[in-house]
Structure formats: C-alpha cells, structure tokens
Structure 1
Amino acid sequence: MVNKQKKADIVLISNAVFTGLESNPEPKAIAIVNNKIAAVGSKEELQSLIGEETKVLDYGDKLIMPGFHDFHLHAMMGSLALECVNLFEARSEEEAVEMVQQYAEQHPDEPWVIGFMWDSSYWEDKGLPSRFSLDRVFPDRPVVLFHAEGHYSWVNSKALEMANIDKDTKNPSYGTIEKDDNGEPTGILIEEASSLVTEYAYDLPKGKKASLFRNFLKEAASYGVTSVNNLYGTETLSKLDDFELFQEFEENAQLTVRMHLFPQLDGDIDYAKQLREKYQSAKLRVAGLKQFIDGVVTSRTAYMLQPYADQPDTCGHAAFPSDQLKDWVVAADKEEFSIRFHAIGDEAIRLALDVFEEAQKINGARDSRHAIEHIEVINRDDVSRFASLGVIASMQPDHMALSERGVYTERIGKEREKDVFIINTLQKSGAQLALGTDFPIDSLNPMLQIYRAVSRIDSGGKDVWSPDERITVSEALRAYTYGSAFGTFRDHELGTLEAGKLADIAVLDRNIFDVPVEEILDTKVEMTISDGKIIYSKQEQPSFS
C-alpha cells in the first residue's frame, strides 16, 4: 500500500517547525503534495512519502511556519509607494523638499511627483509644511505627498490648480482644505480632501497598474506573505484599486498571494453582492466590506470621548452619522457580510461596537467575524465587548512607533497614554487578535510588527510603552497567521500547518523564538511557498537530504 501512496512533491525538514498548534517550535517534517500539506510528522514518519522526484529541503535550525497573512493592507497604494519617494527620514520641511527634488529629477517622465511617509512631528519646528516650499522647486509640475499616517497630504500650487481647488472650494463632508488667514489653501488636505487631488494623480494606465502590482507580489513573496486582506482606503484610493486587474493576474496564474477583498460599505448592498458573486475563488474573493468611522490622532480627526489635550475645543468627529452607519451595517450583516471598521479613537471604537451590537439585536447573533481596525486609544469599559460580541481586534503593533510619542501624547494627554495599543489586555479578555501592516502606512515586512508586539519599544528606540501590553512571539505569530485566517473564515484551510490544509508556508533564516528580541528585526525570509509552489527563495540553497 505504501508504494501506491502519492509521493510528496516537496518535503521540508527543520528542528524548529511552528505549526501554530503548539506554543513553541518542534522538530518536524512537512510533506507537500500538489497544493496541500499531505502530512506533518517526524522525518522518519514521512519517509514513505519521499520518492525519486521529491525535493527534500532540510533547514536545520531555521524556523518553518505558516505563511504570513496580512490582515490589513492597501495593495495598489502600497505598490505605488514602493516606486515613489519615501520621506520618513526627513527631519525638516527643507530636507523633505530636497528629497522630493532628487526623486523628481530621476523620474522626469512621471507626470505627477508622488511621495509618502513625511511626518512633521519628527521635524524641529513640528509645524505642518506649505505649498510654497514645493512651489519654489516645482512651479509647473504637480506634487502630492502623503503623510505617514495616510490621512492627510501636502501638495503644491500646481496640484491645487489641476484639481480646481481655490479659496472658494468647499470642504468635503469628511475632510478639510486647510486655508490661511486670507482664505487661501495652504497645501494641506485632510482626510477626504486629498481625494480631490488623487482623482487626477492616481489616474494611471492599466499597464502601469499591472507593473506596480507585479512588484507588490514580489515584495509580498520576499517577506513570506502568502495571504492579504485588501481593504477599501477612502475615496483617495478609488482610482487605484482594480479588482479586474487582480482577476487577470489570477487567470494568467500570476497571482501568488491569496487576496481577500473588502470593498466599500456604503449602503449599496446589491452592488456588494454582485462583487461577492463575481470574486469568489480560492485565490481572489470578496470577503467583506470596510468603512471608516474616524481619522487619526495626530491630525485630531480620531473621534474621542473627551477633548484633545492640546486642543480642548474638539473631540474629532465621526465620518458618518451613527444612524447611517447602523443602517448600513444592519443591512450588510443581514446578507452575511463581515464588516471592518477603521476606528482609532475611543469614541469611534465604542460607536463601532454599538453598531455591531445593534445588528446582532436586529438580525440575531451569528458567527459574523466583524472586525475593528487599529484600536489605538480605547476606553477600558469597552474591552470585554470584543469577546462578547465576537468582534476581531485587528491591530498593527508597529504603528505605536510610527508617530513621534511626544506629539502623540500631547494630543491625547498623559492620562490616556496607558490606554494606547493595549494588545495584551484585549487578548486576555478573550478577543481574537489578527495582525497586519496597513501597508504602505508601514512596511510589508511582518518582522516589524512582531518585534513591536513583543518589545513595545516606542518611537525613541529605548523606552517601553506599557510593558504589560507585550505579547509573546508565539502569540504574535499565531495572530499573524491563524488569527487572520479565522478573520476571513479560512481557518479550516489556512493559518496552521496541518495535514489537509493549503500549502502556504514561510521559512525564516533563524528561529525567532531563540534569539534576542532586537534580532527579530534582522530576520529575513529564506523561502516562501504559496499553493504548494516555491514563489521566493534566497540565493543560497538549503541542503538536500
């Protein structure tokens, strides 16, 4: 009987295999047949599955684990960011302009100059920049530069002109065209105001989009990312997202990650159902709907229960009226959609939970796996509601070190600092965690999120922010694999290394359970397997046994 058994295409062996079923890695072997895991056991137990054609890869002490499943990203905006100027290292407005100028000179044929990741909270004066500094270098070429948090942009006069924005232009319903004392636009566009410019800047030809997406897939493979959740990212991104392009990649066998699409929750349930029907394969599917409740802390657009410490006349406000959000969610929940809400402030998080609770009362309780994204500042009274309502806590731990901590604390006040990114408290309360990056707000590299989750080192690089909120490597990896699979109703086929599950696997160049915490940041991916195929491998080949 053994001889008739189908032989494995690949057998992976390591002294450190993290299946996700145990708390620590163990010596194991994994047999892959076609696109599935055929068996997990000792090397001896799997010997009968090794045939003449089987590729046997022994990784020694390197860690084998389920492929990373990024629970929250924006693939096309991230693809674009990979090619554009990154301004995170700039330490002044002048330095940022200089970096943009150098990039623009190297890309003379790009009609728009696009950049990402500037953050004036790291600049000496900490003030917001203006269009005039860009105008001196770019009088005739439009420029749009996104802040590190992605919720506001810095543009020049040419970009304003092309978008027909002047002193008489009204603010969108959720957003602000910042203006000076004379009523003239300053060049800062907050929240949905940025979409007035990206309507033009992001109007890219299909070929360009395909090239960008191809680079994204390579980037994902190099980081061991085998599944992603592509979330709606406001009207700012509406010109970039292209589900039909993703489908073309799938049809041409070029889609090397599993893509779970979360288009906009906007009340149009019929259209959402059409999209769900159109995209429902093993590689590409509509998995739910997503919407924003608020903005971010640094621009004071996060919706808070109490006023901002440094601007007591505002608590921020919701992107939509609460009754409208409830109507949308009740209708979508009735059609068994999973809903994801961006909610950063404590009032926004409470509103999201209230809306989910209302849907449960009206439609009846079900296994909905709704999720709240980010969960930066939370009121402790709301923590237990995640588990009781079955709401997933979707978090990006490295975000706590993206914003300069001093500025962040100035906004919310010292008293609320203890309630920021309380990932361990949420986990202990029984909430299901799922981790991701919010790429391109952060790098697609999962190691940054793992490191920050287990270290809690803040933006200064030394101090630990609420050490009790640290979680273990095992908990972080499980949230980044099983937690995300659970959140997309795929825990029966993804997220752990078990016989019968899909062969989506990552091999790291070291066992991160067994190294100093800071070394997690240096960890690279040795190999990535998606659907049973090797989609990435470092130059040095593993030993063959």
Structure 2
Amino acid sequence: MTPPELVLINADIRTMDPHFPRVSALAVRHGRVAALGSDGDIRALAGAGTRIIDAGGRLVLPGFHDTHIHVQDGGQHYAESADLSAARTVEELQACLSAFAASHGRDWVYGGFYYSGVFGEHNLNRKVLDAAVPDRPCMIMASDGHNGCINSAAIARVGLTASTPDPENGHFVKDATGAPTGLLYERATAWVEARKPAPSDEDYADGVRFAQAHANAHGLTGLLDASVEERHARVYRRLVEAGALTARILATARIDASETTEGAVARVENLRRECQSEMFRIHSAKFFLDGVIENRTAAMIEPYSDAQGGNAALMFSPNQINDMFVAFDAARFQIHVHAIGDLAVRAALDGIAAARGANAPWPAFHQIAHVQCIDPADIPRFAELGVVANIQPLWARAEPSVTDVAVPMVGPERARWIYAFRSLRDAGALLALSSDWTVSTLNPFEIIETAITRQPPRKEGDHPVFIPEERLTLAECVEGYTVNAATAGWRQAETGALSLGKWADLIMLDRDIYACNPYDIGDTKVLLTLLAGREVWNA
C-alpha cells in the first residue's frame, strides 16, 4: 500500500467520530484520513517521503465550518474601506474616516463596520460625514450590512433627492423638509451601490483571498457565503479553476421579492448547475424576511414596546413566502432565511411547514439564521420541522445593541426570548454556530466563549450575564462548528469529523479548550490548519 503523505502523532485528537472519539495519531493519504490510532501504529505506516508532524500533546480538532459569513463582499469591503469598528463617538468616527481619506486620492472614500448600536438617526447624517470628507463622495456601511450613510457629495453624485422614491424593501431617511439626511436602510444601500463605481472581478477575487486566509488563521476550513448572485459565482468559478481556494465554500443565492417564483427558481437552478465543484457549490436559496431591530426593520408579531412603537412589514408577503418555499423545496434547494424579529421567524417556519406538507419531508436541513427574537410557542417547531437554527452567539451578551436598543424596543417579556439558544437546543433543534462576518469577528473561539458565558470578554470589564439560562456548553459549541455545521451544509459524509475516509481538514490549538477556564477560550490561537492534509495556515 502507498505510504501516507502525512502522519500526525503525539496529539490529543478529538475526532467527533463516536467510533474513534479520541486518538493520539492519524495518517493522511490522498488528502483523506487513512488511519486512526496510537503513535506507534500510525508512525509505522510512514514511508521515506511521509511528512511527520509531532503535535507535542496539543489538542487537534476537525476543521471548523462557519455556516453564515459574507466571504466575497466582506473581504473586498475590508480591502477598500476605513475600519470604523472601534469608533464609539461621532468624533472618533470622523477622525478615523478623515485619516483614511487623507491616505489616498481615490474618487470615493469608503468606511465600513460602524456599530449601529451606537450610531443611528440621532447622531449620524450627511453633515457628520461632510465634516470628515468634504471634498469627495463618501459612503460608510454598518457592520450589520443593513444600515449605511452617505455625505452631501455622494447624495449629489448618485442623484438622490427629496422626490426619490424608496426602493423595494429599502428606505432613504429624510428630514422634516423632505431632504435626504444621508442615512440608508436595507436595500437603499444597494440603490446607492448600483450608482457608484463598481469594483472589478479581480477586486472581489482579492477579497476572497483575504477572507479565506483570515478564516484559515482562525481554524475555519469550511465557509458558507450567505448571499450570492451571478457575479459572486463567476468570481468563485475562476478561483476554483486557478486552484486558489483554501476553504470549502458553499453559497446561498439571494432571492428578491420582486421576482416571480418561476423566474427565481429557474435563475437559481442555472447558477446551481454551473457551480458544483468540491471547493465551491451553490446549494441553497437565501431569503431576507426582515431587517434588524436597530433601524426598526425587524418584523415583530406585536408592535415595538417603546414610546415610538410601530412595526415593520415582512419583506415577502406570507403567500409569496409559502409559494416560493414550496417551489424551492420541490426543486431540492435548501432554504436559508434571515429572520431577526419573531414574526419573521414564525413566517419562515410557516413557509417550511407548507413546503413539507406539499412535497413531503426530506433531509433538507433548511436553516433560519439569527433568530434574535422568537415567540416561545415557535421554539419546538424547529425540531418538529427539521429546521437548523443557524446562530451567532457572539451577539448574545450585554452590550449596547442588545441592552440599550433591542431590550427596550421589544419590552421585558419578549426580551426573555432574545437569542434563546439553550431553549432551542433543549427542544431538539440542531444548532449550527456561525459569525455573520463582517458583522462581527469570525474568530470561533471568541464566539464559543460568549456562547458559554453570555458575557463580553473579561478584558472589557465586568458585565452581567445576559439571560444565563440560555448558555450553551463547550461540547455543544464544538458540535455546532463541526458535525452539526457539516450536516447543515450537506457535507457530513465528507467533513465535520476526522473519520476514516473523510477529508483531512483539521486544526491544532495552543491550548486544551476542554480543560481551560471558559473565560480564556476566546484567547485560543490556531497553530496549524490543514485542508485535505495540505497546510493552509501555520502560526
């Protein structure tokens, strides 16, 4: 038999395979796990050309999967934008943006990742940006991707006026006189994007290279790009042809409410047909059923509870949701839903129930992402309908966007069910953990720490636990990044565990996260990442 190309010995390998849950060594042949066992047995398989890695007793896990991340757009946005994520005052935002504008002479100045829990209609508008960038068009985007702002020069450049109608599922904020303030909600950002200079395909390819390298360094070997269109597919196909991908990328194709059901299914079927390689595959349809609480575009069953009140409509009508879900389910697409408000969650569950009733159940693992608010009556429906809860635990902690914005807006009774991850798990739901990068860090160990503690890191001070009864365990979190994530992505036969015959996608860590203090898990460093036995990151 051909000797393995690589053997890993002297390791604490937690395989996530119940047949061989914990071993000290493994061998890799043709990119796949060829043997598991003791150091002596595995070392004996090595030949003259076999690479031998001594792990020094360190913890080794299957490569993690992030099942909701904006790979291509997020990577490209990072490359061209000022990073506003640390700004917490208008002055800090302006200083960062002004310094970035002074560093280049490009026609537009972009900023990204501002915190919508701090900046909004009360303190952000075109005049704020004019003070930082007075001479060129400027556009900044919030980390959540649902809010943006442009300055006066940009307003003039794109032709936004008092008479410009709102785009479908979008809103231009206007002042008392009807003049645009510069704030953009939801698809209003896309309206502006379509009227400014477009990045090239190579710019987007560079964004993918940046994002996947960043992901590999944090132990991620599988990614799901959470909203793609034809351009994304084109760029990915070229990267596949060039052998340039270092993470296995799934993608979910965005569906717009303006499309007909027949037209949307036909369009996405064509995309799927063209994108079926080991390294890049389109397998699902993405529906944004609502927006976010911060700008009042999240759809709630009952109106908001604060003094302003009001509510938001679903971005697709219930009849349209049911019709489209039935059609995409029948065409054997996975359905991937953005749902923040409890009405959006319920509408997604209703649509999936309609699809199962019309087409009969199959192992679709349809997913509802975010689930910030949920009515407790809907919690058991995830397991009943076989729906994956695609969750971002980093957000489940006491910070301004939650305690100062979301909790007052939904009121104390509904706030009890914000990010109800433990309740979903106990009711039988399959949990897949993810980041929604670039909304927040993609570092899975910071996310796992928060899932366990429901608190910000200790270095940020002493914070109360946010709904402690909704904490998860470490074992549940690791499952959520490995076997559950692979199952959610229809890849459980190939990845998610270090089982015989599966791809040798693995990571080696600088500490044993099963033994260390939970509040230290977020500091974990990935020392080595292998994809099919090939090194894609080495610290």
TM-score under structure 1 length normalisation: 0.92
Instruction: Output the amino acid matched with 1:265.
Output: I
Q: Offset of 1:536 from its aligned partner?
A: 1.0
Query: What is the deviation of 1:254?
Result: 1.0
How far 1:339 moved relative to its partner?
0.4
RMSD over equivalenced CA pairs, Å = 2.0
Structure 2 partner of 1:121? 117
2:525 aligned residue? 524
Cα displacement (A) at 1:209: 2.1
Name the counterpart of 1:542.
none
Quote the residue 2:235 is aligned against.
245
Separation in structure 2 between the aligned mates of residue 40 and residue 298 of structure 1, nearest angstrom: 49
Name the aligned partner's letter for residue 438 of structure 2: P
Q: Report the count of equivalent residues.
A: 527
Q: Summarize the Cα distance change of 1:308–1:102 in structure 2 as closer, same or farther, 3 Å threshold.
A: same
Check the 8 A contact 2:290/2:339 in 1, yes or no: yes
Q: Does 1:199 align with 2:194?
A: yes
- What's the counterpart of residue 478 of structure 1? 479
1:61 maps to 57
Distance verdict in 2 for CA 1:430–1:139, change over 3 Å? same
Offset at residue 460 of structure 1 (A): 6.9
Contact 2:172 2:184 in 1 (8 A): yes
Change (3 A) 1:88 1:457: same
The one-letter code of the counterpart of 2:142 is H
Within 1, Cα distance between the matches of 2:347 and 2:156?
38
Distance 1:120 1:74 in 2: 18
Other-structure match for 2:148? 153
| Counterpart in the other structure of 1:513 | 514
Query: What letter corresponds to residue 349 of structure 1 in structure 2?
Result: V
Q: Which region of structure 1 is more displaced relative to structure 2, 39-48 or 326-335?
A: 39-48
User: Any idea what SS the aligned residue of 2:472 has?
Assistant: coil
> Contact (CA 8 Å) 1:279, 1:286: kept in 2 or not?
yes
Structure 1 residue aligned with 2:455: 457
Contact 1:333/1:363 (CA < 8 Å) preserved in 2? Answer: yes
2:250 to 250, 257, 260: 260
Once residues 217 and 120 of structure 1 are traced to their aligned partners in structure 2, the CA distance between those partners, rounded to angstroms, is 26
The answer to whether the 8 Å contact 1:19/1:25 transfers is yes
Instruction: Compute the displacement of 1:313 (Å).
Output: 3.8
Instruction: Determine if contact 1:131/1:156 at 8 Å carries over to the other structure.
Output: yes
Judge conservation of contact 1:94–1:133 (CA < 8 Å) in 2.
no
Partners of 1:22 and 1:58 in 2: CA distance: 24
Q: Match of 1:431, as an amino acid?
A: A
Question: Is residue 251–residue 283 contact of structure 2 (8 Å, CA) maintained in 1?
Answer: yes
> Match for 1:97: what amino acid?
Q
The one-character-per-residue Cα deviations of 1:499-518 (angstroms, maximum 9, x if unpaired) are 10011111111111111112
Matched, 1:172 2:167: yes
- Contact 1:61-1:510 at 8 Å conserved across structures: no
Q: Distance in 2 between matches of 1:23 and 1:184?
A: 65
Distance 1:173 1:116, change over 3 A: same
> Shift in Å at residue 298 of structure 1?
1.3
Matches within 5 A, 1:275-424: 275-311=271-307, 313-401=309-397, 403-424=401-422
- Percent pairwise identity: 32
2:69 maps to amino acid: L
CA distance in 1, matches of 2:4, 2:64: 23
- Tell me: CA distance 1:285–1:120, structure 2 relative to 1, closer, same or farther (3 Å): closer
Which of the residues 32, 42, 46 maps onto 2:38? 42
Contact kept? 2:504, 2:530, Cα under 8 Å: yes
C-alpha separation between the residues in 1 aligned to 2:141 and 2:21? 40
Alignment check: 8 A CA contact 1:15 1:26 kept = no
Paired with 2:128 and 2:106, the residues of 1 have a C-alpha distance of 20
Q: Does the CA-based 8 Å contact 1:23-1:474 persist in structure 2?
A: no
Given the alignment of the two structures, is residue 94 of structure 1 paired with residue 91 of structure 2, yes or no?
yes
**Which one is further off, 447-456 or 75-84?**
75-84
Contact 2:233 2:271 in 1 (8 A): no
Match of 1:71 among 67, 72, 75: 67
Give the deviation of 1:302 after TM superposition.
0.9
State whether residues 505 and 528 of structure 1, in contact with CA within 8 Å, keep that contact through their aligned partners in structure 2.
Answer: yes
Displacement after TM superposition at 1:424 (Å): 1.4
Please list every run of 5 or more consecutive structure 2 residues that lacks an aligned counterpart in the other structure.
none
**Contact 2:71–2:212, Cα closer than 8 Å, also in 1:** no
1:24 and 1:512, CA in 2 relative to 1: closer, same or farther beyond 3 A?
farther
Runs of 4+ in 1 over 6 A off after TM superposition: none
Supply the distance in 2 between the matched residues of 1:508 and 1:144 (Cα, whole angstroms).
Answer: 39
Note if contact 1:69-1:226 (Cα within 8 Å) is conserved in structure 2.
yes
Structure 2 vs 1, CA of residues 494 and 10 (structure 1 numbering), >3 Å: closer, same or farther? same
Q: Please give the secondary structure, in 1, of the residue aligned with 2:203.
A: helix
Q: Does structure 1 residue 103 correspond to structure 2 residue 106?
A: no
1:222 to 2:223 alignment: no
- Find the aligned partners of 2:47 and 2:294 in 1 and give their Cα distance: 58
CA displacement, residues 236-259 of structure 1 (integer Å, 9 cap, x when unaligned): xx69x5211111111111111111
Query: What is the distance in 1 between the residues matched to 2:133 and 2:433?
Result: 39
- Deviations for 1:419-461, whole angstroms, at most 9, x for unmatched residues? 0111111111111111111111112211221111111115975
- Tell me the distance in 1 between the aligned counterparts of 2:363 and 2:444: 28
Q: Which residue of 2 aligns with 1:426?
A: 424
Aligned match of 2:184: 189
Using the TM superposition, give the Cα deviation of residue 312 of structure 1 relative to its aligned residue in structure 2, in angstroms.
5.4
Query: Which amino acid is 1:323 matched to?
Result: N
Task: Rate the CA distance shift 1:14–1:104 in 2: closer, same or farther, 3 A.
Answer: farther
Structure-2 change in CA distance of 1:448 and 1:202 (3 Å): farther
Equivalent position SS for 1:288: strand
CA contact (8 A) 2:8 2:52 kept: yes
Distance 1:204 1:278 in 2: 23
Distance 1:40 1:202, change over 3 A: farther
Query: What's the offset of the Cα at 1:293?
Result: 0.4
Amino acid at match of 1:479: G
Describe the shift of the 1:423–1:120 C-alpha distance in structure 2 as closer, same or farther (beyond 3 A): closer
User: What secondary structure sits across from 1:388 in the alignment?
Assistant: helix
In the TM superposition, residue 23 of structure 1 has moved relative to its aligned partner by: 12
Q: Would the aligned equivalents of 1:120 and 1:126 in 2 still touch at CA under 8 Å?
A: no
Alpha-carbon separation, structure 1, partners of 2:192 and 2:244: 32
Give SS of 1:89's match.
Answer: coil
Code of the aligned partner of 2:249: M
Give a deviation string over 1:149-183, Cα, whole Å, max 9, x none.
22110111122222211101011121210000000
Change (3 A) 1:121 1:249: closer
Distance 2:10 2:407 in 1: 45
